Structure 1
């Protein structure tokens, strides 16, 4: 199982050969499509970022991804792995510990990331659930 999970983690965010044709077609879309896409993602980033700040997280504002990295130490937490494992049961939200992306896991020990490429209602619900952590 460890090998399968590891392989999946590295393949999930890679564009496989067949998808490259779809990407080429997408690049032919008009600039207005990409402008709208960028505006929508920025709005979603801000929506979740504001919700995370309201929940007590320190938020590192991203500029070129659909993940928000946060620090959990303002919540009294130190271990991102333990925090992320307990988070679904605590409030029904998932996050990924950033240390899985580091050669030195201690470097990102208190950082977790959340995806904001979701529907607005999902982002609002997640922000509300995460506020329960500080109550």
Structure 2
């Protein structure tokens, strides 16, 4: 995730995470921030996806991008899944879980991009509920 999008989630101005694909069953999103962070810095609890399909209610327009999602703005073409962000936790490790740690200690072959399953070893070492809740 690039800044300023992560900062918008942290400060609460972005209330949904929009994706082009379904992440059925997902309860939390662990956000890897690109350079200069190059680390997983936050984990957010999310609701099941809202979609723009027939019969679905529009999103509340309480955050950045929600109106555009509802209105099917051209810039949002393909972003058909919206995950309500219920909480934001900051990873307690200084600077987050750095890329070198992900690679050397948790066996990741490359920096996480898009939809990647979190290794069990990270879930065990960095229990999300033990991180610092910021909202």
Higher relative contact order (CA 8 A, sep 6+): 2
TM-score range, shorter chain: under 0.3
When Rg is computed on C-alpha atoms for both structures, the one with the higher figure is 1
- Point out the structure with the larger strand share: 2
- TM-score (normalised: structure 2): 0.26
The structure with the greater share of residues assigned to helix is 1
**TM-score (normalizing by structure 1):** 0.26
